[in-house]
């Protein structure tokens, strides 16, 4: 922390706590350059005539101790592959999270199923198993369990609810690579695990995704779903087994992915260290609550959620930003069912409003999530931050907490 912070908040005309910009994230180096060059020199970037996508899939599955992995073009595509694999009928329901990215929601609609939102726990902000159970109906086809910000939802309790009912559980691990829950990797506990390689994620290919499973029946379907349902068998008459999109990963993306897979454990370990350091520095500060997680779960800190108790998240976040500490109030501002016009205005397929023509997505649907969104900010940091950078974040928070007028 800086030794002599201004007595006056920057938002009130004082000097910012942190003046210099935080370090830029450095993700790629000569390893990626060499591997991409190898792909280009092969003169084929198509996965079925190249070798890198298949190698990436095999090594990713091995890293998680799983039998099968299928690459896709994005984390959203990975979720769509998982939804397409469980194969809902039009109008079936899939339970998902209110605090997440639209990538956890859009694939449900794209497969003509209905998103149902389960409220969150007030501590971890992950999905509440009790509310998941309340939302189950005879039409429930699957549960997309989102591991938020780098830590686990209560997987075992959700499985205890889902398994006797025959409901598959899809783990959304877009924000939780190489993170353990009760000694097991997230993504390996449910029926399908989905990962994102978008630029901000713990391992990045710019965009890209992966789905893993041990279920042979799911593997048979998901390997085709990525490729338009095409049952490839060499030259001759074609056979497309069912309707599927084209989510094939290219050799260029896989080249970067192979290098990133070698680095991700180090990235996660560094993020754990600086996340835990930030939590320890924030603990004594009155009016803020550090990030929490289930006792059985690790936290890989994709983002750092900080609860504030005496101010609105917007007011606190604005003051903190003026102190030179970047942040976002409430992550997406409001729960996903309130910030997507595909839901609030039923903008889906033409003017049909299908499949949610009889659904209303409005305030009050998940009251715990709605309240929490007004009470937390997310702080962005990454593995390129030094310990001193983290101390400056904590110092900025301490300054704002000490000097900002309460509004609660």
Half-sphere exposure of 190 (CA within 13 A, CB side): 32
Q: 279 vs 271, 272, 276, 289, 375, CA distance in Å?
A: 12, 10, 5, 9, 17
63 token code pair: 């890293």
Q: Nearest to residue 27, comparing CAs of 276, 254, 257, 187?
A: 257
Helix (H) or strand (E) holding 196: strand 192-196
Helix (H) or strand (E) holding 267: helix 251-282
211 token code pair: 């789905």
Q: What's the distance, Cα to Cα, between the start and end of the chain in Å? A: 28
Helix (H) or strand (E) holding 115: strand 114-117
The structure tokens 């839901």 sit at: 343
Return d(Cα 35, Cα 251) in angstroms, integer.
Answer: 10
**Residue 180 is a catalytic residue:** no
Cβ–Cβ under 8 Å, residues 66 and 212: yes
Q: Nearest to residue 56, comparing CAs of 301, 267, 270, 248?
A: 248
Which residue(s) pair with 170 in the sheet?
A: 144, 192
Given 8, 59, 67, 201, the catalytic residue: 201
Cβ–Cβ under 8 Å, residues 209 and 77: yes
401 token code pair: 């907490």
List, by residue number, the catalytic residues.
Answer: 201
């Amino acid at each position: 922390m800086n030794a002599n912070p201004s007595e006056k908040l920057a938002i009130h005309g004082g000097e910012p706590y942190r003046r210099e910009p935080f370090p830029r994230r450095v993700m790629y180096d000569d390893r990626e350059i060499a591997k991409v060059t190898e792909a280009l020199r092969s003169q084929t970037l198509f996965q079925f005539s190249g070798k890198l996508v298949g190698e990436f899939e095999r090594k990713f599955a091995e890293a998680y101790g799983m039998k099968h992995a299928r690459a896709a073009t994005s984390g959203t595509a990975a979720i769509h592959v998982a939804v397409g694999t469980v194969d809902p009928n039009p109008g079936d329901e899939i339970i998902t999270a209110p605090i997440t990215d639209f990538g956890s929601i859009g694939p449900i609609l794209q497969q003509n199923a209905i998103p149902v939102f389960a409220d969150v726990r007030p501590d971890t902000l992950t999905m509440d198993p009790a509310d998941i159970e309340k939302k189950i109906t005879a039409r429930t086809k699957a549960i997309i369990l989102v591991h938020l910000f780098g830590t686990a939802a209560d997987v075992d309790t959700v499985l205890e609810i889902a398994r006797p009912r025959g409901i598959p559980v899809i783990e959304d691990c877009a924000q939780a690579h190489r993170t353990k829950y009760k000694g097991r990797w997230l993504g390996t506990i449910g029926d399908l695990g989905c990962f994102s390689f978008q630029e901000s994620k713990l391992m990045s290919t710019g965009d890209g995704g992966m789905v893993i499973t041990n279920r042979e029946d799911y593997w048979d379907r998901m390997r085709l779903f990525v490729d338009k349902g095409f049952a490839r068998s060499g030259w001759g008459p074609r056979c497309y087994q069912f309707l599927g999109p084209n989510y094939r990963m290219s050799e260029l993306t896989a080249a970067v992915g192979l290098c990133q897979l070698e680095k991700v454990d180090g990235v996660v370990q560094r993020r754990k260290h600086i996340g835990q350091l930030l939590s320890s520095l924030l603990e004594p500060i009155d009016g803020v609550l550090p990030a929490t997680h289930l006792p059985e779960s690790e936290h890989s800190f994709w983002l750092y959620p900080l609860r504030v108790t005496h101010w609105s998240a917007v007011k606190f976040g604005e003051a903190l930003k003026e102190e030179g500490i970047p942040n976002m109030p409430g992550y997406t501002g409001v729960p996903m069912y309130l910030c997507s016009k595909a839901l609030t205005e039923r903008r889906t397929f033409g003017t049909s409003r299908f499949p949610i023509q009889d659904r209303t997505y409005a305030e009050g649907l998940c009251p715990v999530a709605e309240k929490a969104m007004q009470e937390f900010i997310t702080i962005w940091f990454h593995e390129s931050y030094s310990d001193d950078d983290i101390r400056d974040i904590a110092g900025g928070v301490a300054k704002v907490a000490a000097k900002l007028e309460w509004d609660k």
